[in-house]
Amino acid sequence: MRNTLTFILAGGRGERLDPLTRDRTKPAVPFGGIYRIIDFTLSNCINSGLRRIYVLTQYKSFSLQKHLLSGWDIVSNQLGEFIDVIPAQQRINAEWYRGTADAIYQNIYAIHDCNPEHILILAGDHIYKMDYRHMMNFHQEKNADMTVACIPMSKATSKDFGVIEVDSDQHVRGFQEKPDTPKTIPSQPDQIFASMGIYLFNRDVLLNELEIDANQVSAHDFGKNVIPQMLSRGKKVYVYDFVDEKGDPKYWRDIGTRDAYYESNMDLLKHKPDFNLFDKNWPVRTFHEQHPPVKMVSTPSGPSAINDSMISGGCMIEGGVVDHSILSPNVKIMNQAEVSHSVIMESVVVGEGAKIKNAIIDKQVVIPANSKIGYDLELDKKRFNLTASGIVIVPKRSHVET
């Protein structure tokens, strides 16, 4: 895989994840207790043998850059390996990145410097495990100019995705952006191919297509513009079907909305989760700070209890109850406090007797004693943020009143 250069697009505003993205770009949002969302894409790269990686940043990137510098210095520069951050620099013109294709075009010098045979373009805000070598093998077997990774989804979800139209040989025939009446998979009228935002190009093909797109009035997006442009010119574009050996879709989540974020965290707590963090054959790496072990303390009111939850290092549970929840490092659950079906981020203190359910509590929030969150949604709506399904989100460093 040394002849492959990888770009990870990590500059998204993540407006639909507000308030979790008020201080950070979407790929830097904490996930699963100890991770950031970008860790999953980066881990896929390392596990697939891809070690020449550019991370393209733009909005609110400080937290992401700090994380990458602290936890992802695992490759060898002496062997020609790198994980480098490239902020938007306006090298081509006075514009910031105007679309996925424009982001690569504005860094076209990096392609010339590395002179790869193939370019892999990834999103930095999805949760999944993929061995990109399988996609590479498929690309070469088809002698493709471009390959786009897709996952079969229910036809009813088409309004949430870019939909790829294919023939029976997985040859791409068209692209639809979040259509009401989507083109379905041949022989599967209730299924669509949803684009995963993963694109593999032959170098010379990509360079040529970027030049053509840059000189046209467009959204400069791979799905909306570059794929139709290539099809109109007879280029060979194929779909890589992200399914297991049984033909079933593998786990993939686009953390594009607040409910999707919450549900993906809750997925990790299933007895047999579809996405397994404990797979030693495919480790998910991240930056680990030094924390003491988890501590549980019994009080005169009774013992602490943890049910169906994930608890990170440095947490202290002093007579409280944690049920079906994820606790990031350095969280304190005080006497008789209860946390249920919630995501609690780093350095949160849940005061004595406080009760929290169906909530996301961002970093460094102190929940006062005997307060309640998630029990009165009308009150919570006045104080915090609510998702479409009624999950309460308390922003970072919020002042919470009883």
| pLDDT in the model for residue 15 | 86
For the stretch 244-270, pLDDT in tens is 988 899 999 998 899 999 999 999 999
| pLDDT in the model for residue 108 | 93
| pLDDT in the model for residue 181 | 92
DSSP annotation of 302: B
| pLDDT in the model for residue 217 | 87
4-267 shares its CATH topology with 295-394? no
Distance CA 164, CA 195 (A): 6
> Within the chain, which residues score under 50 in pLDDT?
none
CATH of segment(s) 4-267: 3.90.550.10
Q: How far is CA 2 from CA 34, 43, 105, 204, 233, in A?
A: 30, 17, 22, 17, 30
The fold of 295-394 is UDP N-Acetylglucosamine Acyltransferase; domain 1 (2.160.10)
Domain ranges of the chain: 4-267, 295-394
> CB of 5 within 8 A of CB of 298?
no
> CB of 134 within 8 A of CB of 142?
no
| pLDDT in the model for residue 12 | 75
